[in-house]
A and B are shown apart, each in its own frame.
Chain A
Amino acid sequence: MDSNDSTPKTQAVTQPATVEETQPIRPAQGHSRKGWFNRRWWVVMILSVIVIMSLAVATGYSSGLTRRSQILVEEAAQIAQQQFDRGVEELLAGNLDLARQRFEYVLSLDPQFPGATEFLEEVLAGLNQPTITPSPQASATPTETPDFSSFETTFTSAQSAFGRSDWTTALDILLRLRGSDPDFRLVEVNQLMAAALRNRGMDELFAGDLEQGIYDLTLAERFGPLDAQAASWRRSAEFFIFANSYFGLDPALASEYFGQICVSNIWGACFKYGQAAREYAGLLAEGDDPCAAQNYFTIGYDYAGVDTSEPTATHVAMRCATATAPTPTPTITETPTITATGIIVDTPTPTAIATATPTSTPMGPNPTPTLTSTPTQTSTPTPTVPTSAP
């Protein structure tokens, strides 16, 4: 059968074969070729499926990424516009802090957003805060990608970030280094960590993020004692927060403590001093010491400007003036004047009210918060935080 299969023509000459006999042979021969052929086709088909589906996935993913970024850009533009509009509303309503948050957010989404920088500067000027020089991210120079190829290059990247005063990046790289090899250049890594934490903490304190700054300085302190400047600023921040914890709860203590910090005029302490004093004055006004209330109202006007408590302040001033006025000498009217209509009109007795009535003009020079934009290092107060009491 094998020879027959392989030489069908020879077989046909010697022994004529019927079609029926040859039928199984030819397809068998053809099947053998087709089988090989089919196998190849199968391989080609499977490969083509894999290739085409891979291409579909790859192009779909790529297209999806493009579409996602487009969606994000569109959403960001929409959100930026919404927040910008809300920011303008807040600005017009005098809610400067909220307006600031919104404009800063808009600029974070789009540093070139028309008008946002100008409005933010206006808000910051109103808040007496440091103004921005460039738009927050427009001028940001692209930072180099840290090289993590070896411990040494990683450490160099951290030093480079430190040199750029990019404390956070430096700390991130150092943490990565420490996580990979805790003993690598232990002393140098520790020194760099401590300095970066200290500097970031100081930056946070200057930016008004007090507790965040205290936290970083505390972390820095794990490596060794803080320098005098950092320690002094931390004490001041702790005292500010201590005073702030009484705000709205114990105005007497709040005004007392903020009054101490107001001497240094940092972090808007004087404005809070004015607010706390006014709140305390309101409480005193309900008691029987109108003159003390008047004093605190005066402090309030000096440091926090005019507000709705003005009528109360006027009333308190009148009471104080009445209480402290010298006993009026009784004026004896000899003969009441009789008018034509027969109504008796007393002659006016002397009072001190006119001279004691406060005007609506704020007595202080500046009704806005008086935060110094860049507090000098020499102005740092070092008040002692009283023993903590709940």
Chain B
Amino acid sequence: MDNRPKPKRKKKFADRLVWIVGAAFTVSLILAAVVTHLVVRDLTASYTGVGLNPFRPQAQSTPDGLQDPLATPTLIKIENTPQPWDGKNRVTILIMGLDYRDWLVDRSAPRSDSMLVVTLDPITYKAGMFSIPRDLWVEIPGFGYNRINTAYMFGEAYDLPGGGPALAIRTVENLIGVPIPYYAVIDFTAFERVIDEIGGIDVLVKERMKIGPIGELAHWLEAKPYHLNGADALAYARVRKIAGGDFGRAERQQQVVLAVLDRVVGFDMLPTLISRAPALYQEIASGVRTNLSLEQIISLAWTSTKVPKSNILSGVIEPPTMVGFYTRPDGAQVLRFVPDQIRILRDQIFVETSAFGPEIAPPPSEGYRP
């Protein structure tokens, strides 16, 4: 008799414990759900996927169409955001590096130091790179005539819709005629970090040159193969004061791009990099301004590995045929573009590799091989 209440108390206690644990669990679950809800909500709200509006006006087709395209006034349609890349259409990106000297003197609106148009056609598995010299004398929409590297600066300084990238894109589109929906403005620091992240790149230095990595002592590179870290690779891509000047520099920049691809594909780093993509993206986000989303960057990187190296064409707008040297009355030395010669290069890289053609070659049996 004395012992009978004991199990009851224990049972009561156990039941109470169960209820307490259950209640605690329920409360924890509700709290976790609320926190999850808030985190997911904030993440979703803050992730826009794309950067700035590229502000690309497009001529809208007239409703009457084929028979009489002049019958109605031309309407101008503005494209708010770039069309999402579906992995099928050709993708073209204007890659710009900003002028380091402008950063040094703390100018609010820097000029673009280098301009490289990169294109990739996922149907024909062909790609191309097209470098534009910064002293090219062109018409900048709304700002008269000037060097092409000032387009970015004007767009930023005058707070145009889409800023510097939008005006730079429009200017380059007017020069080569190719639609450019995407851009990437790369800060030198981010460039260095990316190169370091992939463990450096291998380049064949073609002539002896002195490079001055930022924050390091200048040193010489001999004409031989090198494995360069981020700082040296940047200095190598930027050096101008050797034979070839800007044009040789453009070629070296293309060489560096290919070296990055060699490294990523050759060492089979892409899966690793993709798995670390969000962290990498965050890390370099401060140094790269782009309207490409993370998914698009990953998709592009993946597609680029399927393009054989022999299908990657490259070209530089350079003398003697494509530009002429002129000195303006104010003493400025600039380059006149020779349109029909530039068109020949443009056609080699963009037209002859396009899926817009009577027929397309079957996909290559193997992808990129360093």
A residues bordering B, Cβ < 8 Å?
19, 45, 48-49, 52-53, 55-57, 59-61, 63-65, 67-68, 71-72, 79, 82-83, 86, 95, 97-98, 101-102, 104-105, 107-109, 130-133, 136-137, 163-168, 171-172, 175-176, 178-179, 182, 186, 190, 193, 195, 197, 199-200, 202-204, 206-207, 209-216, 218-219, 222-223, 238, 241-242, 244-250, 283, 373-377, 385, 388-390
The answer to the question of B36 belonging to the interface, with a C-beta cut-off of 8 Å to chain A, is yes
CB-CB under 8 A for A108 and B70, given A57-B36, A175-B89: no
* A60 adjacent to B41 (CB under 8 Å): yes
CB proximity of A117 to chain B, nearest CB, Å: 12
* A131 adjacent to B40 (CB under 8 Å): no
* A60 adjacent to B37 (CB under 8 Å): yes
* B343 adjacent to A214 (CB under 8 Å): yes
16 extra interface residue pairs, beta carbon distance < 8 Å, beyond A45-B25, A71-B45, A211-B176: A53-B36, A56-B36, A60-B38, A86-B159, A104-B76, A108-B79, A130-B73, A130-B74, A136-B75, A165-B62, A165-B63, A179-B88, A222-B356, A223-B357, A249-B328, A389-B324
B residues bordering A, Cβ < 8 Å?
3, 25, 29-30, 32-34, 36-48, 55, 57-66, 69-70, 72-80, 86, 88-89, 122-123, 137, 139, 141-142, 145, 158-162, 173-179, 319-326, 328-329, 334, 336-341, 343, 346-347, 350-351, 354-360, 362
Q: How far is the CA of A251 from the CA of B31 in the complex (A)?
A: 74
* B61 adjacent to A68 (CB under 8 Å): no
For B37, the chain A residues whose CB sits under 8 A away are 56-57, 59-60, 63
* B360 adjacent to A56 (CB under 8 Å): no
For B76, the chain A residues whose CB sits under 8 A away are 104, 132, 136, 207
For A64, the chain B residues whose CB sits under 8 A away are 40-45
For A102, the chain B residues whose CB sits under 8 A away are 160-161
For B123, the chain A residues whose CB sits under 8 A away are 175, 178-179
* B357 adjacent to A222 (CB under 8 Å): yes
CB proximity of B17 to chain A, nearest CB, Å: 13
* B69 adjacent to A203 (CB under 8 Å): yes
* A247 adjacent to B340 (CB under 8 Å): no
CB proximity of A305 to chain B, nearest CB, Å: 16
Q: How far is the CA of A176 from the CA of B87 in the complex (A)?
A: 10
What residue in chain A is nearest B139 (Cβ atoms)? A244
For A182, the chain B residues whose CB sits under 8 A away are 359-360, 362
For A214, the chain B residues whose CB sits under 8 A away are 177, 343
Q: How far is the CA of A321 from the CA of B70 in the complex (A)?
A: 47
A-B residue pair count with CB separations less than 8 angstroms: 245
Q: How far is the CA of A384 from the CA of B86 in the complex (A)?
A: 41
Q: How far is the CA of A57 from the CA of B51 in the complex (A)?
A: 25
For B80, the chain A residues whose CB sits under 8 A away are 108-109
For B354, the chain A residues whose CB sits under 8 A away are 219, 222
* B145 adjacent to A247 (CB under 8 Å): yes
Checking A19, A101, A197 against B356 with a beta-carbon cut-off of 8 angstroms, the contacting residue is A197
What residue in chain A is nearest B71 (Cβ atoms)? A374
Q: How far is the CA of A286 from the CA of B161 in the complex (A)?
A: 41
For A213, the chain B residues whose CB sits under 8 A away are 177
Q: How far is the CA of A86 from the CA of B356 in the complex (A)?
A: 41
Interface centre among A60, A216, A374 (most CB of B within 10 A): A60
What residue in chain B is nearest A187 (Cβ atoms)? B358
Q: How far is the CA of A287 from the CA of B165 in the complex (A)?
A: 42
What residue in chain B is nearest A163 (Cβ atoms)? B65
Q: How far is the CA of A19 from the CA of B6 in the complex (A)?
A: 12
Interface centre among A65, A107, A179, A182 (most CB of B within 10 A): A179
Q: How far is the CA of A241 from the CA of B142 in the complex (A)?
A: 17
For A207, the chain B residues whose CB sits under 8 A away are 59, 74, 76
For B173, the chain A residues whose CB sits under 8 A away are 209, 211-212
* B36 adjacent to A374 (CB under 8 Å): no
For A215, the chain B residues whose CB sits under 8 A away are 176-178, 346, 350-351
* A65 adjacent to B356 (CB under 8 Å): no
Q: How far is the CA of A167 from the CA of B55 in the complex (A)?
A: 20
* B73 adjacent to A390 (CB under 8 Å): no
* B66 adjacent to A195 (CB under 8 Å): yes
Which 8 pairs, one residue from A and one from B, show the smallest C-beta to C-beta distance?
A64-B44, A390-B324, A60-B40, A108-B78, A215-B177, A165-B65, A211-B177, A207-B59
Q: How far is the CA of A100 from the CA of B174 in the complex (A)?
A: 17
CB proximity of A173 to chain B, nearest CB, Å: 10
* B41 adjacent to A390 (CB under 8 Å): no
Would you list 23 pairs from A and B whose C-beta atoms are within 8 A, ordered by A residue?
A60-B39, A68-B44, A71-B45, A97-B141, A97-B142, A101-B57, A102-B160, A105-B78, A105-B161, A108-B78, A108-B79, A133-B73, A166-B61, A175-B88, A182-B360, A203-B59, A212-B177, A215-B346, A215-B350, A248-B145, A376-B70, A389-B338, A390-B324
For A101, the chain B residues whose CB sits under 8 A away are 55, 57, 141-142, 160-161
What residue in chain B is nearest A69 (Cβ atoms)? B45
* A56 adjacent to B145 (CB under 8 Å): no
* B70 adjacent to A374 (CB under 8 Å): yes
What residue in chain A is nearest B337 (Cβ atoms)? A245
* A98 adjacent to B158 (CB under 8 Å): yes
What residue in chain B is nearest A75 (Cβ atoms)? B48
For B86, the chain A residues whose CB sits under 8 A away are 176
* A246 adjacent to B360 (CB under 8 Å): no
Checking B77, B337, B358 against A223 with a beta-carbon cut-off of 8 angstroms, the contacting residue is B358
CB-CB under 8 A for A209 and B174, given A53-B33, A60-B37, A219-B351: yes
* B360 adjacent to A178 (CB under 8 Å): yes
CB proximity of A52 to chain B, nearest CB, Å: 5
Q: How far is the CA of A60 from the CA of B137 in the complex (A)?
A: 52
* A171 adjacent to B320 (CB under 8 Å): no
Interface centre among A64, A95, A376 (most CB of B within 10 A): A64
CB proximity of A47 to chain B, nearest CB, Å: 12
* A67 adjacent to B29 (CB under 8 Å): no
* B66 adjacent to A165 (CB under 8 Å): yes
CB proximity of A174 to chain B, nearest CB, Å: 9
For A71, the chain B residues whose CB sits under 8 A away are 45
* A203 adjacent to B179 (CB under 8 Å): no
For A249, the chain B residues whose CB sits under 8 A away are 137, 326, 328, 334, 336
Q: How far is the CA of A163 from the CA of B61 in the complex (A)?
A: 11
CB proximity of A240 to chain B, nearest CB, Å: 10
Checking A132, A199, A219 against B65 with a beta-carbon cut-off of 8 angstroms, the contacting residue is A199
